[in-house]
Chains A and B, each alone.
Chain A
Amino acid sequence: EAQVTQNPRYLITVTGKKLTVTCSQNMNHEYMSWYRQDPGLGLRQIYYSMNVEVTDKGDVPEGYKVSRKEKRNFPLILESPSPNQTSLYFCASSLLGVGETQYFGPGTRLLVL
């Protein structure tokens, strides 16, 4: 089954404790992206990657890191989480090109205390 998976689905942590949210897709997509969803703001892009070893900042990259060492994986790293990073996070993937449909993972709900 074609899918985007994220782990963990739920995470409670404390300020300053490094964490990684994993994202993996099995559709051989070149493009992958991370979003955060906050009430009233919709989804905002954090980082995206157009291929292995190619990443770029989205609209809200501060406080996040990503890496793309393999085509299928695109982990999101919070080196020192803060309460304002409490949010619902989505990973997405698609073929590369304008108009390609993005397919989303199930989401990771993060609470930073």
Chain B
Amino acid sequence: AQKVTQAQTEISVVEKEDVTLDCVYETRDTTYYLFWYKQPPSGELVFLIRRNSFDEQNEISGRYSWNFQKSTSSFNFTITASQVVDSAVYFCALSEGDYGQNFVFGPGTRLSVLP
């Protein structure tokens, strides 16, 4: 069973629209971490945020915000006032295991922001 699900394969928005990328995870551990990474067209993987299972506070960083809800096992990512430079593939990931050795990525969501 897939441990990290990103149901949206591709999303297209027009610049300045808000967009939310969904992430649903599955784990039996009580201690785990969730991550978001960005992969721009150049191909590298860029770390965006890390959130632990005991901290359900939402986080905002500029135009980016994250909503973590343990009750629904979701860790959604919202970009406000999207820009063309936000066009990328976004991956949600789950880290679990005693030493964090199990690091599982979702399939990714390709976001295209059109001018």
A interface residues, Cβ below 8 angstroms from B: 31, 33, 35, 40-45, 48, 50, 56, 59, 88, 90, 92, 94, 96-104, 106-107
Contact of B100 among A40, A56, A90, A94 (CB under 8 A): A94
Within 8 A of A (CB), among B42-84: 43-45, 47, 50, 52
Contact of A98 among B9, B45, B91, B98 (CB under 8 A): B98
- Asked if A99 and B105 make an inter-chain contact with CB atoms under 8 angstroms apart, the answer reads no
In whole angstroms, what is the CA distance A31 to B103 when docked?
11
Contact of B32 among A50, A98, A100, A102 (CB under 8 A): A98
In whole angstroms, what is the CA distance A96 to B99 when docked?
6
B interface residues, Cβ below 8 angstroms from A: 4, 6, 9, 31-33, 35, 37, 43-45, 47, 50, 52, 91, 93, 95-101, 103-108
For B35, the closest partner residue in chain A by CB is: A101
- Asked if B95 and A106 make an inter-chain contact with CB atoms under 8 angstroms apart, the answer reads no
- Asked if B9 and A31 make an inter-chain contact with CB atoms under 8 angstroms apart, the answer reads no
CB distance from B34 to the nearest CB of A (A): 9
CB distance from B112 to the nearest CB of A (A): 15
In whole angstroms, what is the CA distance A113 to B98 when docked?
40
- Asked if B43 and A97 make an inter-chain contact with CB atoms under 8 angstroms apart, the answer reads no
CB distance from B79 to the nearest CB of A (A): 20
In whole angstroms, what is the CA distance A106 to B40 when docked?
12
For A41, the closest partner residue in chain B by CB is: B107
Nearest 8 CB-CB pairings of A with B: A98-B100, A99-B33, A104-B45, A42-B107, A42-B105, A43-B105, A42-B108, A97-B100
CB distance from A41 to the nearest CB of B (A): 6
Contacts of A35 in B (CB 8 A): 105
In whole angstroms, what is the CA distance A90 to B39 when docked?
12
Contact of B31 among A44, A96, A98, A107 (CB under 8 A): A98
